[in-house]
Each structure stands twice: as C-alpha cells, then as structure tokens.
Chains A and B, each alone.
Chain A
Amino acid sequence: MDITWYLVLSALLFAVGVSGVLLRRSPLVILLCLELMLNAGNLALLAFSRSLGNQDGQVFALIVMVIAACEVVVGLGIIVAAYRRRIPLNVDDLRSLRG
C-alpha cells in the first residue's frame, strides 16, 4: 500500500492548521486550527499503522482524540468564560504575559 497520498494530505491539513494558528486572531478559530493539526497528525499515525500492519498507531490515534476532546473542553470553557467577562476575544489584545 502506498502511503504517499495519505501523508501529503496529512501535511496539507497540518499546514492549513499552522497557518490558521499563526494568522487568525480569534481564539475560537485558533482552537479549531489546533484540532486540525492534531487530526493531521492522527491521519499520519493511521496511515503508518496500516502500512506497517502494526495496531499501535491506531491506539495512539484514539488517545490523541481523547486528549484533543479534553483540550477542546478546557479551551472552549476559557473562551466562554472570557466572553462572559467581556474580555476582548482577540489574542493580540491579551498580552498581560508580556515580560
């Protein structure tokens, strides 16, 4: 089985995710793009797993999904909390960690 196309797709998805994280300012969209990057990684894992006939990759993908779900819960929670407190939902305005 040739995994080149799967990996190309995974790389493209990853690149879309990275550019979204780097370019967009809305935390919600950044979170979505992060999910995109994680799932690009998942795709690569699954592709390798199939190609090598080893089931470990699939298990990893499942774990990544679980973690991604948790992360989304926390992330969305923060976003909702920020929205309720009328904090601007723009990452460029949230600079209180500046050294």
Chain B
Amino acid sequence: MSATSYGWLVLAFPLAGTLIVGLGWRWLAGRTAGWIATTMIGLAFAASIGALVQLLGDPVDARQHTSSLYDYASAAGLDIKLNVLVDPLSVYMCLIVSGVSMLIHLYSISYMTSDRGFNRFFAYLNFFVFSMLLLVLAGNIVLLIVGWAFVGFASYALISFWYRRTTATRAGMKAFVINVVGDVGMVLAALFIFRDLGTFDLLSIFSRAQDTFHTNQGVVVAICCLLLVGAFAKSAQVPLHTWLPDAMEGPTPVSALIHAATMVTAGVYLIARFHPLFEIGLTAADIAAFVGLATLLIAATIALVVTDLKRIIAYSTMSQIGYMVMGVGIGAYSEGLFHLMTHAFFKALLFMAAGSVIGAMANRQNIDLMGGFRKAMPFTSAMLLIGALALAAFPLTSGWFSKDEILDFAAYRGGFYVIFTVGGYIGALLTAFYAFRIGFRVVFGEPCEEARELEQGHIHHAEPENPATGEPEDTDVGFPGPSHQIAEREWPMKIAMSILGFGALFAGFVQIPGVDDVVHRFLHGSFLDSKLYEQGPSTTAAYHGLLIGGLISVLGIAIAYYAYLRNRGWTAALQRRFPWAHDFLERKWYFDEAIDVLVVRPALAVGRWSNSIFERYVVQGLVVAVTDLVRGANAGVRGVQSGYLRSYALLLVTGFAGLGLYFLLQSS
C-alpha cells in the first residue's frame, strides 16, 4: 500500500469510530463504547506507522505525496479537491496525535466509567481525533480550515461536556467564540492566498510563493499575520489565550488530550506547515516569536499563584506552547516540533496524574487542600513527579533536550534573537519552580485528610460540588459521575500513564546533540525549501546550552524545595509583602478584564443600541412603512369593487374605448 492509502486509513478509522459510537450509543452497554473508540484510534496509530514505514522507504527529497478522493469544486480557476498531503511533517503529527490519543482514550475508559454520558464522551473524543487528523493531513487550505473548525467544535462540545454546569457551558462558549476569531483570520488568509497565487493547494502555494513574492512584501506579511491570528487563537497565545484556563471545566482526559497534547499545538503545526510563507514574510515570523516569548513569560508568572491544580497545568501548557511558537517563529522548526512531541508526552502525563489526584480528592482541585499523597498513591505520585521533572527540563528528561534546543537555536541566530534565549531561560526558571510547586505540595508534606483516608484503603467521597464555584451538584447526566477513579485501582489508567511516563523520561534521547537527530532528519523531507532548516548551533554550543538549562532547572527546583518543604511560610510572607504583585498575577494580568472593557462591553453596547434604537426606529419603521403602503393600496383597490354591475360595465367600456382611441392615434 502506498503512503497516501495509509493516510486515508488514518482518517477512516476515527471517523468510523465516531459513527459507530455516535449512532449506536443506545445499544452499547458498559464500557463497550470506550473499547471500540480506543481500538479505532489504535488502528489509526497503526496506519500512521504504516505511512511512516512507507515514507522511510522513499528518498529524502521525494517524501511528499498527495492523493485526491474527489473534486469538491472545480470551476473558473477554482480547484478544490478532497486531498491529503502525506509528508514527514503530517505523518509526524499523525503519530503524535493518534498515539497520545490512543493512550488518553484508554485512560478515559476508566476515568469516565461512572459518568452517565460515557458513550457521548467517546463519540465526541473520536470525532475530535478525526478532526485533528484531518487538520494535519489536509492537502489544501480549504480542507485545513474544515479540520480547523471541526476541531474547534469538538473542543467546544467537550469543554461543555458536563452541560448542566453553567461554568462549563460558559467556558465552552468562550472557547468557541475566541476560536472563531482565529477561524476568520484563517479564512481571510486563504482568500488573500487565492487572490495572489491562484490556488488553494498547499504544495502549489509553496512553490508559487517563492516566484511571486519578494522578501517582506506587504501582502505576504499580511497573509502570515492572518494565519498567526488563527494560530494564536487555537494555541492560546496572548492576547487570545483567555479561553484555555477556562477550558479546564471539561473532564480531565479532555484537558490532557485537547488542551495540552494535541489541539492547542495546531498553531505550531500551522506555522511550521506554512514555513515557506513565513520565510518570505520575515516580520510576521518575528511577531510570532515575540508573541510566543510574551506568552511563555506571562503564563509562567500566572502559574506561580493560581491554586487550581488543573489551571496551573493549563498555564504551563500555554507557556510551553509559547516556547514552541517562539521556536517555529525563529526558524527552529524541527526543534519546535520536537518540543511539541515531548510536551505532548509529559503534559498528558501531568494531566492524567492530576486527574487521578482529583479523583482521590473527590473532585476538588484546589492545591491548598492537597498534600502528602506519596504514601497513599505511590504510582500517581511517581508519574506526577516524572511529568514535573520533564516539564522543569530536569537533565536527561525529554523536556531538557527539546526546550534547550529551541533556546540554543535562538542564541545561534544572534542579533536580537538573544532576547529569546534569555527570556526562555527566565521562563525555564519559573517553569521549574511552578512544576515543583505542584510536585512538592501534592506529593510531599503533611498528608491531607483525603490522603490519610486513602492510606486506610478507601477513597474519599464528598457531596458532589462544582470545584469552581462550590455549588452543589447531583450526578445525573450532564454532571460528573458519582464515583471517582484513581490510577492505583484501574489498570487502563496505569498502562496509559506508564507508557507516557516512559516517553516523558526517555523521548529526549532520539535527539541528542552530536549523537543522533532522528526527528530532525526525518522531518527534513518537509523542509527542503527552507533556508534555516539545515542551520543550527554547533555541538559544543548545544552542550553549553544544555548545561545552562540543566543548572537553571535544578535551581528552580531548589527554590521550590526551599519554598514549599523547608521554609513553608516563605511564600505566604512574600504574598503579604507584595500584595499588589500577587493580586496582579492572581487576576491573570487583568487580561479578562481588559478584553471585557475593550471588546465585550463595546460589543454589548452596540448590541443594546441596535436593539433599542436601530431595531425600534429603523427596522420597525421600515416594516411599518411597508405594511402602510400595502394597506393604502389595498383600500384604493377595494373602493373600485363597488358591487354596482353598471359601474363595472362603465369601467369596461371606457377602458376599451380608451384602448381603441390609443391604437387609433398610434396608427394614424
């Protein structure tokens, strides 16, 4: 089978899973739906491996294949096919997406067991994977935007999965609206591209762009900026990031899958995919890098003070995606995508461990209430610490290799790009600190009540309540299930977490400077036309970078150790000393408030004005004018219908006489 056939299979399996579970949910009892969904994603993963094997058999410069199923539209120079592009980049993304998704599906089988919406959950989840794979495999912009929008919908449906929680439905709407802002950017970019290059096909765009545009031409920068709007909205970059922390209202596996490992990295994929345009519109690439830097610092500082366990990890996700966006913005494509892979492993792992902890806490998420789970949950604690180590870029873990590669590349490019290296290292220090803020506070310290209860062998059960607002809830459809699962007691959760833990620890070894560069070499086939791809820091410089990164990581962990284990009052004292700083960070740099004042309120004011003034006087005035006109004409016509036979006859006669007279005058 050819590589493209495997590409189609990758799409077919999740779609089949969606249809089977989505249409047959009524007849699927127990955990059947979960197993079907997991199997389908597993098959998609197998097909991705098939495509990988096929691609590896091709020479490096002939690894881009397209295949079209049918012409969707073909008229007047417009040629939109339903086609996939199978090349190293898309296969790489497919492997990550389907692989991590498979594990998260497996985890969800246990995690969602007691939820009344079990089958609905897996239908949505499979649909999400299908959309995401469609996004990465799309061979033209139109199909890419379709996948892009599908993914946005799947995200909305899964954030609002517990639809009786008003906080969850609001969060879903917020995510959807902000994502649509990005979609608009994407569509406009596609129209610009079509106007200037006359095609929607990705490979033709890339080959024509080099001949049509010159460096930093206005229109290319505009196209790239519009693409960036889409990328920033999907990847939660400043200022379109506010939906991601709220998205934590969804079930924890959703946070792991969509809001950590896969969907939010779509922006990184988009920038890497459109690298030929970004290398012409250099200004836009620099904008991307600066926004990535700003995001990684802002998110890292917010993560220092947030107390909701899942929201801390959400902010760390934003921050890590900031690194990736910065990486692909400065031209470190393989490095950024490598970080995407390692991040998918350790962040999914962190979320899974967090889900297990939250299960033990009876759905409470405040880390102020947690502590001392190391004896009660040894496995979860170990996994949480592995995830935190990789997130903190501790030496020899995967995050250490991938993060420092990006920063080394920035240093290698010199000039003002050094800002990115320095800013990245500051972010790394903060990352190490907050990663172990989670690690030390949850795993070590005095066991909390729930941990002690679990040590005696039973999971704490509390009255179900909304962790965000504290409102009481029941456990019917649309609410979380009655019982809570922990990894210690559920083997599917354990297996999923073990595999990811292995990846989080050892995935970095595929790309050791001077030893091997598997990812870099494999992805080369997609970046043949890139001027920056073959460049990079020397091995010595890379090792210097790794050394600095390792030291910073250890320093951050040491500070966290001091703050949370040795000298426990220290953070509280800091908070009392600098209340304004704490407030500023706790209010998330006032982004929500700023957006509220700048966008939401004006929009609401316009809406209110339209409703009270425009609607009442202009729209209703038009309607009333039309009805009055009709009524008046009606009265006139009715007056003629007098009922007098002889007046009708008179009208008839005069009419005919008039007509006759007219024709007589015409003919003479």
Contact = CB atoms under 8 A, between A and B. Distances in A.
A18 B649 CA distance: 9
B23 to A, nearest CB: 58
Contacts, number: 35
B653 A22 contact: yes
Interface string B636-651: 0111111111100110
A53 interface: no
Given A99-B637, A99-B638, A22 B646 contact: yes
Interface residues of B, number: 13
Contacts of A2: none
Interface string A86-99: 00000110111111
Query: How would you classify the secondary structure of chain A's contact residues: helix, strand, loop or mixed?
Result: loop
Size class of the contact patch on chain A: 10 to 19
A92 B644 contact: yes
A18 B646 contact: no
B645 A94 contact: yes
A58 B112 CA distance: 96
A61 interface: no
Contacts of B650: 22
A21 interface: yes
Given A18-B653, A22-B653, A97 B641 contact: yes
Interface of A: 18, 21-23, 25, 30, 91-92, 94-99
Given A18-B653, A25-B646, A99-B637, 10 more contacts: A21-B646, A21-B653, A22-B649, A22-B650, A30-B645, A91-B644, A91-B645, A94-B643, A99-B640, A99-B641
Interface string B612-639: 0000000000000000000000000111
Query: How would you classify the secondary structure of chain B's contact residues: helix, strand, loop or mixed?
Result: helix
B644 A95 contact: yes
Instruction: List the 3 closest A-B pairs by CB distance, nearest first.
Output: A99-B641, A98-B643, A95-B643
Contact of B643 (A21, A25, A30, A96): A96
Contacts of A97: 641, 643
26 contacts: A21-B649, A21-B653, A22-B646, A22-B650, A23-B646, A25-B646, A30-B645, A91-B644, A91-B645, A91-B646, A92-B644, A92-B645, A92-B646, A94-B643, A95-B642, A95-B643, A95-B644, A96-B643, A97-B641, A98-B641, A98-B643, A99-B638, A99-B639, A99-B640, A99-B641, A99-B643
Nearest to A21: B649
Interface in B339-383: none
A91 B650 CA distance: 14
B649 to A, nearest CB: 5
A65 to B, nearest CB: 22
Contacts of A91: 644-646
Interface string B383-427: 000000000000000000000000000000000000000000000
Give the interface centre of B637, B638, B641, B649 by most chain A CB atoms within 10 Å. B649
Contacts of B646: 21-23, 25, 91-92
Contacts of A96: 643
Nearest to A19: B653
B358 to A, nearest CB: 76
A8 to B, nearest CB: 16
